[in-house]
Amino acid sequence: MTNTIDTYKHRFDKIFNSENDRVKAHQMCKNILEDLSQDTALLKIVLMNGLSNKDFICQTHYPVVRFPMFDYVDKYLLVAHVWQPLPSNSTDYTSKAIHTHGPLMLSTVTSFGPGYYHYLFNKPDRISPDTEQFDLKLQAEGHHPLSDVLFCDQYLAHVPMFPEKLSITYALWSNSKPTRFLSRIKKIPAIHRRADTLRTVMKSVGMGKALDLKLEDYLDFYPSSNGFMGVKKRVEVEYKRGPIGDRVQSIIHLLQETGNEDLIDLCQDDLESNKSMEPNEKLECLKLISAARKGEEIAPKLTEKLHFGFEKMNFTHEQIKASL
């Protein structure tokens, strides 16, 4: 089974080693992403590899669960994103603020579930230096179904809606330009922990843009009665992590939905070996596993005001259309 992942990685490596034009590289990867999405055996490998990592399940929880797949230093990163539905199953709300990824490029393919609806905009244009109002022109919108590949170029704004049911995408990330020094720096734990300090220092000596540290003032946007407004500090529209119990419940639901209940053993092993969880919290998580083993359906778990329910992050189709 490992050879399957190695084979895909070799195909990505070959493209990113031979093509420095990152737009072309992503275009060339489209067929590989389609193949990934249709490889039903691959998903089990991805889930198993993630759950085999110590304390993978015993973490506080974001709305989207991320399973690492593989990466090539300085070239690209491939991850699986698990998109969970709202408790109401409504598809009328954005899963996050409208946002750009700065100089990063993204290609994404739906590999499981119905997928989500999305909006893609042009590069946000600030109306004047005296206002936080931006002009966002709609470039495309539509559903992102199984095996559909979407590309989001650098600095373009986009936003996915919450899906009706659990959906999984494979996301291929790369910088818009080949890099070496920056990628290596970011992998040094001490520097990664001090990212904010590094940004400040590099900006003060005029090296911010050269090191590509995402120094753009506005990366996130939301609709208002005055059009689209920019958010200067990303921390204002970043989700806080929810409790470990939410993550455990959501991962168990994921395994049930994808027919990988046999991997629940890995979840139990991880929970039982964890030394840092509160005893009552661990007990409740183990009860969820016990219920799943008895055949009880476990629903995904998102907590309001932690994972959804924010004015600048979760807004409707109607609000987006009204601001165009």
Residue 178: predicted pLDDT? 76
In degrees, rounded to 5, the angle at the alpha carbon of residue 294 between the alpha carbons of residues 57 and 277 is: 30
Closest CA to 81 of 30, 52, 39, 116: 116
Identify the pLDDT of residue 245: 95
* Residues 252, 270: Cα–Cα separation, whole Å: 13
Beta bridge partners of 77: 71, 173
- How many residues are there in the chain? 324
Phi/psi at 61 (5° precision): -125, 125
CA angle, corner 11, sides to 8 and 14, nearest 5? Answer: 150
Residue-by-residue pLDDT tens, the chain, 324 positions: 455 899 999 999 999 999 999 999 999 999 999 999 999 999 999 999 999 999 999 999 899 999 999 988 789 999 999 999 999 999 999 999 999 999 999 999 999 999 999 999 999 999 988 899 999 999 999 999 999 999 999 999 999 999 999 999 999 999 988 765 445 545 545 444 445 544 444 444 444 444 444 445 799 999 999 999 999 988 999 998 999 999 999 999 999 999 999 999 999 999 999 999 999 999 999 999 999 999 999 999 999 999 999 999 999 999 999 999
Q: Which amino acid is at 76?
A: Y
What pLDDT shows up at residue 72? Answer: 86
Type and span of the H or E element at 224? strand 220-224
| DSSP reduced 3-state for 150 | strand
| Tokens found for residue 67 | 């399973």
Give the burial string for 204-224 (b: 16+ CB within 10 Å, else e): eeeebeebbbeeeebbbbbbb
Q: Are 312 and 132 in contact (CB under 8 A)?
A: no
189 vs 192: CA distance, rounded Å = 5
The answer for residues whose C-beta is within 8 angstroms of residue 260's C-beta and 6 or more apart is 43, 44, 47, 48, 254
To the question of pTM greater than 0.85 for the whole model, the response is: yes
Helix, strand, coil percentages (3-state) for the chain, rounded to 5, are 40, 25, 35
pLDDT given at position 71: 87
pLDDT at 246: 95
- For residue 231, the SS3 value is strand
Residue 143: name the closest of 177, 170, 171, 120 by CA. Answer: 120
- How much is the pLDDT for 128? 87
Residue 177 has a pLDDT of: 80
Instruction: Give the end-to-end CA distance of the chain in Å, rounded to a whole number.
Output: 48
8 Å CB contact between 65 and 116: no
Give me the domains of the chain, ranges plus CATH numbers.
Answer: 2-177+214-238+305-323 (2.60.120.10), 182-211 (no CATH), 244-293 (no CATH)
